[in-house]
């Protein structure tokens, strides 16, 4: 079994959202790098990271933070948040990210998902949020 502790980044800080609500967040004193270091020192070498700024903007806001963690700590990272183009996937792969998690963009543009899976075989994951255990949610909209 692989354990992936999570680090969510917003405004260059570690945060935790309550039920995905950006208006209801807890901000931690620990920097994303320092938190990743704690996980590494505890023997965990896989990280699940989400660029919440990227999820809001569609840009790779925290790319340098993630690059620094990979370079200095030699950990395996799966990353999500605002990844809406092949170029953004390339940017993450170029810094050594192991897997990219696509969310709403993959649902809204199935051809993007298909193309990403073909280009980056074995490196794409699909992250979906459900409400009430049965409806896929994209930015407060129910899809199924």
pLDDT of residue 143: 39
How do the domains of the chain map onto residue ranges? 6-142
- Please identify which of the residues 34, 74, 94, 129 carries the catalytic annotation: 129
For residue 105 the two structure tokens come to 């963009």
pLDDT of residue 142: 37
Mean pLDDT by 10 residues, the chain (144 residues): 91 87 84 96 96 94 97 96 96 98 90 96 87 60 39
129 is catalytic: yes
pLDDT of residue 57: 93
What's the topology of domain 6-142? TIM Barrel (3.20.20)
23 is catalytic: no
């Amino acid at each position: 079994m692989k354990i992936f502790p999570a680090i969510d980044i917003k405004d260059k800080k570690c945060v935790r959202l309550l039920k995905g609500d950006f208006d209801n967040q807890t901000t931690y004193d620990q920097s994303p790098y320092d938190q990743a270091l704690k996980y590494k020192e505890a023997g965990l070498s896989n990280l699940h990271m989400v660029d919440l700024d990227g999820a809001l903007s569609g840009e790779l806001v925290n790319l340098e933070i993630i690059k620094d963690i990979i370079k200095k700590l030699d950990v395996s990272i799966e990353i999500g948040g605002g990844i809406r183009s092949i170029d953004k996937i390339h940017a993450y792969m170029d810094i050594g990210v192991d897997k990219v998690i696509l969310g709403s963009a993959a649902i809204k543009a199935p051809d993007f998902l298909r193309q990403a899976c073909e280009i980056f075989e074995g490196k794409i994951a699909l992250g979906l949020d459900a409400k009430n255990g049965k409806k896929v949610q994209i930015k407060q909209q129910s899809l199924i």
